[in-house]
Amino acid sequence: MRPEIVTFWHGPLDALRLICLRSQIAAGHNVTVYSFDPLAGLPAGVGNAEAEAVLPLSFAERLRPTGPSGVWRDWTYLQFSDFFRMRLMAGSRGLWLDADVLLLKPVEIDPGKPFFAWERPRQLGNSVLYLPAGDPIVTAFEHLMEQEELTPDWLALRHRVAFALRRLRGGSKRLADIRVAIYGPPSLTALARRAGELHYALPKKSFYAVHAAPKLFFAPWDFSALIGDPEILGFHISPKDRCNEKPVPGSLYAWAAERFGSH
């Protein structure tokens, strides 16, 4: 089955992510971006849906309060989206792709099985994620969201110790204040291991060939082997603060901009 692609975004979309959304449309998928405010300038064929109906904005206050100006802090986006994608899975909304996933080929899934890939040697990525609505991972997140403090029961020992020591020293009692990514890939990996689902993971290069090496995307080099590899379905780019940089000639970014740029 070729699923609908779904994602969440808060704020204006940058040039790189617009290219990535166009690549997902070009691969033959329907694409929907969920947001709390209407998004301007979406590529043709990309839908915009109301995020409030999936996970209310008020949930962010349980992770971290907004700053004095009412603007979300950067880690709030990350943590909120970790929960948001699980709510999409619970509602059978489609295949989650981060907005900075450049898709090279259509993605086919079995709707009854998980779909994800290794991001690092011992950690799954959640930038590309599909889970059946009744999957144990989805259920675990649903139970977690019923808690006030949002403290998972699947934390690794080192995280439990660090959290306990911080509380004993009078520090924050909220896990969200301690580890930005704790609800993301570490949680997905721990829960997939607990559910016996690690064997579903695709090889790292399926989506994360350039993730930890941004020069492979932004700097000029011979990337023909990457785009010609039949096992590479796309690239999670993770651009950090480079998302509005002008593509450098001879780079993978320049190739993507030419192929999936504004038409």
β-pairing, 31-35 vs 5-8, is parallel
Query: How many other C-beta atoms can be found within 10 angstroms of the C-beta atom of residue 164?
Result: 10
β-pairing, 46-50 vs 31-35, is parallel
CA pair distance 215, 98, nearest whole angstrom = 20
Are 88 and 174 spatial neighbours (Cβ–Cβ below 8 Å)?
Answer: no
pLDDT of residue 66: 59
pLDDT of residue 60: 85
Q: How many CA atoms lie less than 13 Å away from 232 in the CB half-sphere?
A: 18
pLDDT of residue 173: 63
Query: How many other C-beta atoms can be found within 10 angstroms of the C-beta atom of residue 59?
Result: 15
3-state secondary structure string across 195-227 = CCCHHHCECHHHCCCCCCCCHHHHCECCCHHHH
The pTM assigned to this predicted structure is 0.92
User: Which residue shows structure tokens 């962010």?
Assistant: 60
pLDDT of residue 74: 66
CA pair distance 228, 218, nearest whole angstrom = 18
- The residue ranges of the chain whose pLDDT is under 50 are none
pLDDT of residue 63: 81
